[in-house]
Amino acid sequence: MNSSILTIENDFLSVDICPSQGADIRRISRKDKSENLLLETKWKGTQKNYCDCSRTDEDHFLSHYAGGWQLMIPNAGYASDSKYGRLGYHGEAWSSAWDVIKHGATELLLEIYLSTAPIKIERKVVLKQRTLEISDLVTNCSNGEIKFLWGHHPAFSNLLIDQSTEVRIDAGMISTEINTTSPYFADVPSYLEQHSESFYLKNFMTEPHSFLGFATNFKEGTASILNKNNNLLVNLFWDINIFPYAWLWIENKRISSEPWSKKITTLAIEPCSTKTNLGLEESLKLDGSCVSLKAKESVSTLIYLEVLTPISSSEDIILEKVKGGSIS
């Protein structure tokens, strides 16, 4: 069973998922509010099946990008070659239709068998209080070892990202040393401040610019986004055993090509199995960072997003260790 958009909700949150396009998370909102914490581009052709999964180029992804939260597997970053053939930009899972196994009030179960790698993915999306939990079980269906890249691509909207936003990423280092060749990305900007074992971002949306950095040296997979204007705090938690890195993407009305046209503002924190966006083949050459599964082996992991309303939006609470849970 496939469907364009399915909704789960509880007393606190409402979430839209698109099984026909990558099991994407398309909308996260507080219950009974007309809002979306995730980016929506609303470009022509992005409302349903916004990408052709047979296409491998970055331009096709970027020109059909709907926003939201994608799963990147078996590739992340640029198109790449593997022993199974060509892997598209950010992999196959996000651009393919998934089967819906169960749709309940607060949970959705989906699965997919990839065609570009011998991989089965079983996904559970569930709401628990003010938290969205995404659990993925990945199985190697082949009789030999496989290596692949795995990551998440949640991009947030201007409900969270504006000049009042403060971000905390609990990484020991953020670098652009391994980077895209795009002219839009520059060196690590001055608004990225390091305090002990975390980085903080403030006043980073004042001027049009783009940035792509790679966060490493995590002791815990945690990040927080506080929007003081809208009194919203979002905490993101992930398993650093699977995702030891996180890509940090900022776009503030800089990309001029159509259909971006210097109109998009977003920030994405992207937990990933590799610190480079150059694709599987180059990642293996660089440092071997990937996920490896033996024949018929499976691995599962949980990533979750917590949505809170701080007691006072005027307090500089982003500098505190705000945590609502842990990976299990």
User: What's the pLDDT tens digit per position in 274-298?
Assistant: 988 989 898 898 888 999 999 999 9
What is the reported pLDDT for 72?
A: 95
Domains of the chain as residue ranges with CATH: 6-319 (2.70.98.10)
More confident residue, 327 or 150: 150
Residue 220 class from Cβ within 10 Å (0-12 exposed, 13-18 middle, 19+ buried)?
middle
Is pLDDT of 51 > 60? no
- Could you tell me which of 16, 17, 14 has the C-alpha nearest to residue 31? 14
What is the reported pLDDT for 319?
A: 46
**Residues in CB range of 139: below 8 A, 6 or more apart:** 119, 120, 121, 122, 293, 296, 297, 298
Helix (H) or strand (E) holding 62: helix 58-63
- Could you tell me which of 62, 61, 55, 112 has the C-alpha nearest to residue 87? 55
Q: Under a CB-based contact definition with an 8 Å cutoff, are residues 180 and 212 in contact? A: yes
- Summarised one tens digit per residue, pLDDT across range 79-93 is 888 888 888 788 889
What is the reported pLDDT for 84?
A: 80
Whole-number Å distance between alpha carbons of 140 and 1: 23
Residue 230 class from Cβ within 10 Å (0-12 exposed, 13-18 middle, 19+ buried)?
middle
> What 3-state class would DSSP assign to 199?
strand
Whole-number Å distance between alpha carbons of 186 and 199: 18
Q: Under a CB-based contact definition with an 8 Å cutoff, are residues 270 and 303 in contact? A: no
- Band (191; pLDDT cuts 50, 70, 90): confident
Residue in the structure block whose two tokens are 């409302």? 47
Tokens of 56: 């491998």
Region 155-181 average pLDDT: 86
Is pLDDT of 320 > 70? no
One-letter identity of residue 28: I
> What 3-state class would DSSP assign to 327?
coil
What is the reported pLDDT for 196?
A: 81
Q: Please give the distance of CA 10 from its chain centroid, rounded to a whole number.
A: 23
Provide the whole-model pTM. 0.90
**Four-residue CA torsion sign, 206, 24, 236, 149:** negative
> What 3-state class would DSSP assign to 17?
strand
